[in-house]
Amino acid sequence: MSRLGWATFPVGVFLFTRAAILALTSWSLRMDPRLHFEGPPLLDVPSLGGLCRWDCLYYTHIALEGYREPFWTNFFPLFPLLGKGLSLVTGLSVPHALVVLGNLAGLGALLAVYRVFLETEGEEVARSGLILFASFPFAFFQAAGYPESLMVLTSAGAMLLAMRGRHVTAGGVLGLGVLARHLTIVAGLSLLAAQVKERGLHPRRFLLHRAFLGLVLPFALASLYMLYLYATRGEPFAWWTHRKEGWGDLAWFGLADLLRGQSLPLEVYLYVLLSLVPAAGTVMLLREPRWRVLAAFAAGLMLTLWTVGLAGLGRYSASCWPAFLPLGAWLARRPALLMPSVCAGALLQGMFLFLFAHWYNVN
Task: Spell out the residues 6+ positions from residue 179 whose beta carbon is closer than 8 angstroms to its own.
Answer: 76, 77, 78, 221, 222, 224, 225
Task: Say yes or no to pLDDT of 177 above 80.
Answer: yes
Please report, as a single letter, which amino acid is at residue 304.
T
* Mean pLDDT computed over 349-360: 96
* Mean pLDDT computed over 228-255: 90
pTM comes to: 0.96
In the chain, % of residues over pLDDT 70? 98
Task: Say yes or no to pLDDT of 40 above 80.
Answer: no
In the chain, % of residues over pLDDT 90? 85
Taking a C-beta distance cutoff of 8 angstroms, is the pair 234, 228 a contact? no
Segment 141-171, tens digit of pLDDT: 999 999 999 999 999 999 999 999 999 999 9
The pLDDT of residue 321 is 98
Mean pLDDT of the chain: 94
Short-list 160, 159, 113, CA closest to 134: 113
Segment 308-340, tens digit of pLDDT: 989 999 999 999 999 999 999 999 999 999 999
Task: Spell out the residues 6+ positions from residue 107 whose beta carbon is closer than 8 angstroms to its own.
Answer: 11, 14
Please report, as a single letter, which amino acid is at residue 321.
W
What is the Cα–Cα distance from 31 to 125, expressed in whole angstroms? 39
Q: Is 179 helix (H, G, I), strand (E, B) or coil?
A: helix
Kindly indicate the confidence band of residue 28, based on its pLDDT and cuts at 50, 70 and 90: very high
